[in-house]
Amino acid sequence: MGGDALRIATRESPLALWQARHVAAELCAVHADLTVELVPMTTEGDRRTDVPLSEIGGKGVFAKEVQRAVLEGRADLAVHSAKDLPALTPDGLVIAATPPRADVRDALVGHGLADLPTGAVVATGSQRRRVQLAHLRGDLQFVELRGNMATRLGRVVDVDVDAVVVAAAALDRLDLGDRITEYLDPTAMSPQVGQGALAVECRSGDHDTASLLSSIDDADTRTQLTAERSFLVELGGDCSLPAGAYAQVDGPMVVLRAVLAPAEWPTHPAPLCHVEVRGDDPVALGVQAAVALRDAIESLESA
């Protein structure tokens, strides 16, 4: 880095800043002479909290401006929640590090699933969460959920809703784990692709930064993300798709469990298709799972 500070682009939300500082601390623990500074910014997704994500560009709305700062040389790297990244990495960037993954589970705040009253209102803007919760409790009603974590949890405090669904890792990182009423088992509630993981991007030709970042890369997390993101790429989707996937490393093998529902269905709850595949090639597994689920959905829609 030639003695200059390593510049980390990040959103300005409390969670994003925590994640950027965590990556900075991990890097400084390995490279004692490293100087790091944050380049915080507010993205369109942060500014327009009154609009569903699906209407303003999906998950990429949180990443594009941070990625642009790296591409334009205003920062050397960007730290993202892996679940917020679009399926395809933009030209000129590379995911150079995937630190060890945190909790992948979704969590309920307010009431546990069995304790929710009949017809309870649950806040979540995620179609993936809605379709799976509807299969667990067909009587539930859903409303949108946007804003930072304090805003989201405030919906329960204000008795606006009976429960909110959030990523357990986000609450843990913000020291709010004590607010969790119930963790949802990933075998019953498939996580979003990349949930609980961080993805650190740098410019594809910046070998010095990539070399620094390789010191905090976790091989198992990278394998998991490779399988899950391959699944999403094959589906051609983003967070608006009612799809989830979770890969686990089992020795030399990878086990990928995935779920998909039709984008639109006239009945409630919509059909929900599951698949589990196992192999040693994470990219091929992601493709295999997506093809199997897409075929299953097409069979349902043509029946």
User: Residue 206 is which amino acid?
Assistant: D
Fold of 106-184: D-Maltodextrin-Binding Protein; domain 2 (3.40.190)
Q: pLDDT tens across 187-228, in order?
A: 999 999 999 999 999 999 999 999 999 999 999 999 999 999
CATH number belonging to domain 218-303: 3.30.160.40
Instruction: Indicate whether 56 pLDDT > 50.
Output: no
Q: Do domains 6-99+197-217 and 106-184 have the same CATH topology?
A: yes
> What is the 8-class DSSP label of residue 55?
G
Q: Rounded to an integer, what distance in angstroms lies between the CA atom of residue 177 and that of residue 155?
A: 17
Identified catalytic residue from 33, 46, 50, 84: 84
Among all chains, which residue has been given the structure tokens 């069995």? Answer: 114
Task: Domain 6-99+197-217: give its CATH code.
Answer: 3.40.190.10
Measured in whole angstroms, how far is the alpha carbon of residue 135 from the centre of its chain? Answer: 22
pLDDT tens sequence across 58-117: 566 779 999 999 999 999 999 999 999 988 999 999 999 999 999 999 999 999 999 999
Measuring CA to CA, how many Å separate 212 from each of 69, 97, 135, 181? 19, 9, 45, 39
Angle at 231 between CA 227 and CA 233, to 5 degrees: 115
Whole-prediction pTM value? 0.91
Domain positions in the chain are 6-99+197-217, 106-184, 218-303
Q: What would the pLDDT profile of 103-128 be if each residue is shown by its tens digit?
A: 999 999 999 999 999 999 999 989 99
| Local structure of 282: helix, strand or coil | helix
46 is catalytic: no
Amino acid sitting at position 41: M
CB atoms within 10 A of CB 274: 15
Instruction: Select from 83, 129, 146 the least CA-distant residue to 243.
Output: 129
- Is residue 152 within 8 Å of 141, Cβ to Cβ? no
